[in-house]
Amino acid sequence: MKALLALEDGRTFPCSSFTGTGEAGGEVVFNTSMTGYQEILTDPSYNSQIVTMTYPLIGNYGINPVDVESSRIQVAAFLVREYQAFPSNFRSTRTLADYLKDQGVLGLENLDTRALTRHIRNAGAMKAFISTKNLDPADLVEKARKIPDMLGQDLAKTVSTKTPYVWKNKTVNYLDPGTRPLSPSIWQFKGEKKSIIAIDFGIKYNILRSLSDSGCEVVVVPAGLNADNIKALEPDGIFLSNGPGDPEPVQYAIETVKELIGYRPIFGICLGHQILALALGGTTYKLKFGHRGANQPVKNLATGKVEITSQNHGFAVDIAGLEKNNVEITHINLNDDTLEGFRHRDYPVFAVQYHPEASPGPHDASYLFEKFINLIQTQS
């Protein structure tokens, strides 16, 4: 089925749909991972974005019920060079096309993903509109231009959980309404395991798996929960999750984190890294085309070692503004020298821009969860 992708700058790309008729719009970005498309599709950090895979063959190992990072597909649409309709993998239970169609997400193939990626790298990430119903380039370009800009959007409130839940037995277990307002009685293993409040700005399941595997009991709370309610739960540590959109409009979370600094050890990643930086007096800015893939080289300034990391973000923290606030820079991206990690010199808080939990990606940075637990233990 013929389709057309139109960018806001006027360039168009012919393609075809492998999921039937439909239309979709959003910011179009590219991901350089060779595998992990199921994890990418379900990563809440991709909310409202059209994702292009640079690896040419997608769908060859199908879909399984385990490798999901949230309860649903998060991307606005999915673009590939060649879709493989007949997967071969012992874990596969269905095709990628069926998975997308069941959730009403448009999948496009026969698209020149190499040309699109080069265009985005040169011109920057931009808004796009796709249709199988209307193939008029001028109409689709105009629709792309009317899509809200990513800059200035608070998408964390869109993807955050509305109900607190416990991560137990590798699944989400929503707390009974009778347990609210929340109190320290929520902890089943207080004293046996470290109790972690994870503030959900778009959290991935593998973060929760990683915290749980590190010996923590984890309760996930909505992005808008205030500092007083978090303190009332008496956690041992606080985790700030990844998430989509611009960090600066998430003012409610920035104010909450300001009040939590110095109360308990804090570990932030991705959007949580940016929110923590803003709470410490830093500033953020939008990257030209972002970092999205499982092969981003990051230098650990303390050890001199290079970590190959999984990343997914379109905004970054300004280094100069952060260093003025008694903050030590700990990690730098070796591709463009942007900030990848920091810690405060006085308070037990640290953060990284990348994803130590991976999924997909290498496990070079998984030690950071152990670092968080050790920090909690030294503050106990």
How high is the pLDDT of residue 346?
95
β-partners of residue 329 are 342
Q: Which of 273, 313, 331, 355 is catalytic?
A: 355
How high is the pLDDT of residue 276?
98
Q: Look-up: residue for tokens 């640290």?
A: 350
pLDDT(180) > 80: no
Burial readout 109-126 (b: 16 or more C-beta within 10 A, e: otherwise): bbbebeebbebbeeeebb
Q: Is 270 a residue of the active site?
A: yes
pLDDT-based confidence at residue 324 (cuts at 50, 70, 90):
confident
pLDDT-based confidence at residue 209 (cuts at 50, 70, 90):
very high
Q: Is 357 a residue of the active site?
A: yes
Please report which helix (H) or strand (E) contains residue 100, including its range.
Answer: helix 96-102
Q: Which of 39, 216, 270, 344 is catalytic?
A: 270
Residue 78 corresponds to which tokens in the numbers above? 């999915």
The predicted-structure confidence for 251-296, as pLDDT tens digits, reads as follows: 999 999 999 999 999 999 999 999 999 999 999 999 999 999 999 9
The predicted-structure confidence for 327-366, as pLDDT tens digits, reads as follows: 999 999 999 999 999 999 999 999 999 999 999 999 999 9
pLDDT-based confidence at residue 194 (cuts at 50, 70, 90):
very high
Least confident of 114-118, 181-185, 296-300: 181-185
Query: What are the structural domains, with CATH classification, of the chain?
Result: 2-146 (3.50.30.20), 156-379 (3.40.50.880)
What is the spatial distance between Cα 166 and Cα 320, in angstroms, rounded to a whole number?
38
Mean pLDDT of 22-46: 98
How high is the pLDDT of residue 149?
96
Q: Which residues contact 22 (CB under 8 A, 6 or more apart)?
A: 104, 106, 130, 131, 132, 133
β-partners of residue 302 are none
Is residue 59 within 8 Å of residue 95, measured between CB atoms?
A: yes
With H, G, I as helix, E, B as strand and everything else as coil, classify residue 294.
strand
What is the spatial distance between Cα 377 and Cα 235, in angstroms, rounded to a whole number?
12
Mean pLDDT of 129-135: 97
How high is the pLDDT of residue 174?
94
The predicted-structure confidence for 302-317, as pLDDT tens digits, reads as follows: 999 999 999 999 999 9
The predicted-structure confidence for 62-106, as pLDDT tens digits, reads as follows: 999 999 999 999 999 999 999 999 999 999 999 999 999 999 999
Mean pLDDT of 111-128: 97
pTM score, whole prediction: 0.97
> Mean pLDDT over all residues of the chain?
96
How high is the pLDDT of residue 132?
98
Work out the angle at residue 155's Cα, subtended by the Cα atoms of residues 151 and 158, and round it to the nearest 5 degrees. Answer: 160
How high is the pLDDT of residue 176?
82
Q: Which of 27, 109, 217, 357 is catalytic?
A: 357
What is the spatial distance between Cα 95 and Cα 18, in angstroms, rounded to a whole number?
11
Q: Is 291 a residue of the active site?
A: no
Cα within 13 Å of Cα(25), Cβ side: 17
What is the spatial distance between Cα 23 and Cα 270, in angstroms, rounded to a whole number?
30
